[in-house]
Amino acid sequence: MLPQQRGPEQREEIPMNRNAFRPLGAGCALATVFVWVAAAAAAQEPPQPPQEPATQESAAPPAEPNPPAPKMADGRRRADLPIETYAVAPGTKFLVRLEDQLDTGETRQNSRFKVRTLEPLEAGEGIYLPAGVEVVGHVSRVVSAGIAGRGRIWLTFDDIHTKFGRLPIVAEVVGVPGDHSVKTPPTQEGLIEGRTSTQQAAAEAAAAGAALGAVQGVKDKDKKEVAEGAAAAALAAYLMESGRGHEVDLPKGAKLEIELERALYLVKE
């Protein structure tokens, strides 16, 4: 037997609970406000620059190659090295020590002399000639100071003696370190000359001459002779000193500064 259905007049009306929808509406409104505030804040923020991708640290610069190890010249040439590698460059300056005395008052033209190097001579690839090597030369010209001149001497270098033989050398003297009584004019190659007397030296000589000239007058007790003798002696001494030059005296052991005019090749062909 089927259950009896109720008619419309017999149905119970279920009341709707309106309060159940109030929290849901409030939540939707709050979410809407939050989205609006976030969008406004994002619009006010300045645009951020694009982030560059991280790069690796810059590579360290390549290490400089180590300089070649020093190697004493033995006169032999390697087939894989050009001849320029064995050349001591023109313009190289080095010190030498004089092994003989040179004096413009005694030394004669074509006299032989010797010097020894005080510094090593360096070529390329670490090749060098050690200090203490003998260099032979000759006096190409010499002029004595005399009374009114100045001593002058011209030196020419011929050969440098190494353990593997003699090598030709073309060089000139460019200085005499520590000796202020001589000079090397830059325009005359190989020349060493004495300096002339200064005005101070001439004045000192005149004063000394005047004192000596006055002595004779004092001895004779003659004032006039004192004055005349002093004046004459002073003038003679002044003229003698102002016109007198100096001899060039280079003792054994003196230092000379030499400059190569042409390349010196440390090979024995």
CATH number of 123's domain: 2.40.128.260
Whether 34 maps to a domain, the answer reads no
Helix (H) or strand (E) holding 226: helix 223-243
In angstroms, rounded to a whole number, what is the distance separating the alpha carbons of residues 155 and 141?
7
Same domain, 101 and 166: yes
Closest CA relative to residue 264, chosen from 190, 160, 154: 160
CB 260 within 8 A of CB 169: yes
0.95 surpassed by pTM: no
Whether 1 maps to a domain, the answer reads no
Same domain, 236 and 157: no
Residue span of the structural domain in which 180 resides: 71-196+246-265
Tokens standing for residue 138: 């000759």
pLDDT tens digits, residue range 37-78? 455 555 555 556 566 555 555 666 776 778 889 999 999 999
Whether 189 maps to a domain, the answer reads yes
Same domain, 189 and 112: yes
Q: How many domains does the chain have?
A: 2
Same domain, 81 and 181: yes
pLDDT tens digits, residue range 73-121? 999 999 999 999 999 999 999 999 999 999 998 999 999 999 999 999 9
Whether 39 maps to a domain, the answer reads no
CB 229 within 8 A of CB 212: no
